[in-house]
Structure 1
Amino acid sequence: MRKPVLTIFYQFNPWHSTIGGIQTLIKIFLKYAPNEFEVRLVGTEYKPNQTIGKWQVVEFAGKKIKFLPLFTLENDNVRSLVPTTIKYTANLFKYCCESDFMHFHRLEPTLASFYWRGEKTLFIHNDIRTQMQGVDNTKAILWQKCPAAYFVLEKLLVSQFNQILSCNTDTAELYRQRYPKSADRIAYIKNSYDNEIFYPLTSKDRETQRRELAYRLGLPEETRFVLFAGRLHPQKDPILLVRTLAALGDPNVHLLIAGSGELEAEVLTEIGHLGLCSQVTMLGAVTQNELAQLHRLCSVFILTSAYEGLPLVVLEALASGTPVVTTKCGETPKFLTPNSGIVCSERTPTCIADAVRKILQHPENFPSESCVQAASPYAAFNVVTQVYNDMWRRWEGSRGRE
């Protein structure tokens, strides 16, 4: 019996250090794919002079997959004049990539798939309503300039999906209201983190690694680290992050920024303007293993986003035993417990700094065990395995009807 084929569509290359929860989730689906499935990825290439537009058998996380790069994309962390999604969609029209199962993580590329045969699933990663409203005039995506056009496109395309899965319960409910005929195909899905990579240290080892990092950076031994990881992008509002450090006013606190993006120059300017150069280290894009090491030694993870779905990086921080301070957006406030982090009532530097200060002054109120417990239901082995099991049951059922 031939294997069922899953094809995943997204504009990235999994062998390149890339930033974003969607990329991380796709890597988890590749890594944890059972041997009963043939898995394919339609992505992009980032190295010149490599084969574009042809399927290649390659290895990822010890598994053989098929990979089709549509075009060369040297840096997917920075937006270009022509949005990458548009380039990806235009190139996808050149191919027919239909398969037994197809996973899409953007709406636009499904223009090309409308007449393809096979089971199609659309994953929605953000709070669409808030995203389109452009909170605080944060123009994170071009569709915010004309949301009506987006919803017209969405209405045109939504009928082709067998499933619409959202990691945000509010968005799932919004879609059920907008598309009542498809309501039974719309569901909430937990995002997941790789529990083989993100795990806590003992208190002693955490302190040892914290002191070692302080030494490497030439900082005092008592320095405590707070971490941000993600794109330097309007959605994440890194300027608010830097202003939060200024409002905190604690010279013994050092901010680590793991990520890059279009706002990098503005972030550096703001750091200089506020006189924080000695309290911030810009790390650029880091690997998943490097990020896991940072999570395990930091005292707090900070998220200053204007909108979110369910950010994987929050799950990764909690799984590493690190409490989270977040703005009131996305799914995080619904599962963050009082002893695993703080949800800020206002998106202001003062409010966020107050929350960070509470954790730094009373770490005993936010024990590692509580953080890990909050994240544990979202472990990849549990979540992704269940998705594949459901796909396998549907596959067997469809073959039984043939």
Structure 2
Amino acid sequence: MQKPVLTIFYQFNPWRSSIGGIQTIIRSFVKYAPDEFEICFVGTGADPAEKPLQWQEREYAGKQIQFMPLFTLQGDNHRKRVPISVGYTAALFRTCLESDFMHFHRIEPTLATRSWRGEKTLFVHNDIRQQTAKTDKRASLWRNFPAVYSLLERSLVKQFDQILSCHTGSLELYRDRYPELSDRISYINNSFDDAVFQPSSDRIIQRRLFAQKLGLSEDTQFILFAGRLQPQKDPVLLIQAIAALAHPNAHLLIAGDGELATEIKAEATRLEVRDRITLLGAQTQPEMAHLYQIANVFVLSSRFEGLPVSVLEALGSGTPIVTTDCGDTPRLLTLNSGIVCLDRLPTTIADALDRVLFNPDDFPSDACVRTVQPYSARVIVSQVYREMMARWEVRSHKRVMLSEARSYT
């Protein structure tokens, strides 16, 4: 029997370092795809020698997949003057890549897909209300044009057979806006790869070795931030919180890159905490796994979120969380796996970080791991594929029955 084909659409290159939870989710969908599916990925090229709009067979995570770059993109960790999504969408208008199943992680590219045949699924990763709110317009392009986004969404949303949201607020928003589509809209847990992100048995030793590598005291306590350095994540607020810390040996590790890197350094210099911060740049998945393991606490300073994959990875590595009150992270955390800051004051974040650093026994590693066990990528992704296969088999059976009926007439 012919294999069903899943085509995944997103503006990145899986073989290059790219910061973001969406990229991590897509990688899990490739890694844990069952052999019964053929996987195609439509992304961006990293090498000018790669020919755009041509399929090529590639290997990723031990699986053979079909890969098509729409254009060449040298790095996607910094926002461009012309958004990458614009070029990606324009390139899709030049072709038709319909297949049995199509997964989209942004709505803009589906301007080009309305006439394509096949089952389409939209994954909603963010808090849509906050994404289009009119506060701090730097945090999201759509904050400058909320009415345009609303019109775009309304014109595109009916083409989807499924809308899967990892944010409960966005789930409720879509069901309120589109009651006629309510049977297509459902919640999906974000997930993390628990084969990669696990606690370390020699955490203290590895932490000391890493401190030595940075030229820091062996008793340094590490606070870890991971993500794009952009207004949505508000890393500048985190720098202000570091300046308010009481813990004498705390050191902030920033894993990521983006447009605010220069502003972060300037703020750290202004507050005289430059020696308490290390900017590591974009990290590979194995490097991130090590950072989660040596960190004493993971911190999230975002203005808005869905359910960040970085939070799941940190918890899976046995590391407690301090987060602003945004997204679904507050719903996930237990009293002994993290702290939710109820306001966005630097002193509030600093107090929460101090509480974790001074009282590590109150936030044990095993409590963090227990909290995040239901979010294993192998379990969640496998379930999605099982449901897809069931629907495909039903459709295939109907096609056979229809063909046989026609042959008798």
Q: Give the match's secondary structure for 2:298.
A: strand
Partner Cα separation in structure 2 for residue 84 and residue 184 of structure 1: 32
Mapping 1:35-50, distance limit 5 Å? 35-50=35-50
Output the aligned Cα RMSD. 0.8
Greater CA deviation, 163-172 or 240-249? 240-249
Verify the 8 A CA contact 2:252 2:277 in the aligned structure 1: yes
Give the match for residue 122 of structure 1. 122
Mapping 1:2-401, distance limit 5 Å? 2-135=2-135, 137-202=136-201, 205-401=202-398
Partner Cα separation in structure 2 for residue 324 and residue 78 of structure 1: 26
Deviation, structure 1 residue 384: 0.4
Q: Give the match's secondary structure for 1:3.
A: coil
Partner Cα separation in structure 2 for residue 120 and residue 191 of structure 1: 19
Partner Cα separation in structure 1 for residue 4 and residue 334 of structure 2: 40
Partner Cα separation in structure 1 for residue 357 and residue 132 of structure 2: 35
Q: Give the match's secondary structure for 2:229.
A: coil
Partner Cα separation in structure 1 for residue 145 and residue 253 of structure 2: 36
| Deviation per residue, 1:210-256 (Å, 9 max, x gap) | 10011111111111101000000100001001111111143311100
Partner Cα separation in structure 2 for residue 146 and residue 249 of structure 1: 41
Verify the 8 A CA contact 1:325 1:343 in the aligned structure 2: yes
Q: Give the match's secondary structure for 1:174.
A: helix
Q: Give the match's secondary structure for 2:204.
A: helix
Deviation, structure 1 residue 201: 1.6
Partner Cα separation in structure 2 for residue 138 and residue 267 of structure 1: 19
The count of aligned residue pairs is 399
5+ residue gaps, structure 1, are none
| Deviation per residue, 1:26-45 (Å, 9 max, x gap) | 01101000000000000001
Deviation, structure 1 residue 394: 0.4
Deviation, structure 1 residue 57: 0.4
Partner Cα separation in structure 2 for residue 267 and residue 246 of structure 1: 13
Partner Cα separation in structure 2 for residue 4 and residue 283 of structure 1: 41
Verify the 8 A CA contact 1:134 1:140 in the aligned structure 2: no
Deviation, structure 1 residue 49: 2.2
Deviation, structure 1 residue 139: 2.2
Q: Give the match's secondary structure for 1:266.
A: helix
Q: Give the match's secondary structure for 1:401.
A: helix
Partner Cα separation in structure 2 for residue 180 and residue 345 of structure 1: 32
Q: Give the match's secondary structure for 1:227.
A: strand
Verify the 8 A CA contact 2:229 2:256 in the aligned structure 1: yes
Partner Cα separation in structure 2 for residue 61 and residue 134 of structure 1: 41
Partner Cα separation in structure 2 for residue 234 and residue 266 of structure 1: 11
Verify the 8 A CA contact 1:138 1:306 in the aligned structure 2: no
- What one-letter code is carried by the residue in structure 1 that aligns with 2:168? T
Verify the 8 A CA contact 1:4 1:38 in the aligned structure 2: yes
Q: Give the match's secondary structure for 1:133.
A: coil
| Deviation per residue, 1:1-37 (Å, 9 max, x gap) | 1000000000000000010000111011010000000
Partner Cα separation in structure 1 for residue 370 and residue 4 of structure 2: 35
Verify the 8 A CA contact 2:251 2:277 in the aligned structure 1: yes
Verify the 8 A CA contact 2:70 2:88 in the aligned structure 1: yes
| Deviation per residue, 1:139-176 (Å, 9 max, x gap) | 22221111011111111111100000100011101100
TM-score for the superposition, normalised by structure 2: 0.96
Deviation, structure 1 residue 138: 4.8
Q: Give the match's secondary structure for 2:257.
A: coil
| Deviation per residue, 1:55-87 (Å, 9 max, x gap) | 000000010000000001101011111100001
What is the identity percentage for the equivalent residue pairs of Structure 1 and Structure 2? Answer: 57
Give the match for residue 403 of structure 2. none
Partner Cα separation in structure 2 for residue 76 and residue 178 of structure 1: 32
5+ residue gaps, structure 2, are 400-409
Partner Cα separation in structure 2 for residue 227 and residue 142 of structure 1: 27
Deviation, structure 1 residue 134: 4.3
Give the match for residue 405 of structure 2. none
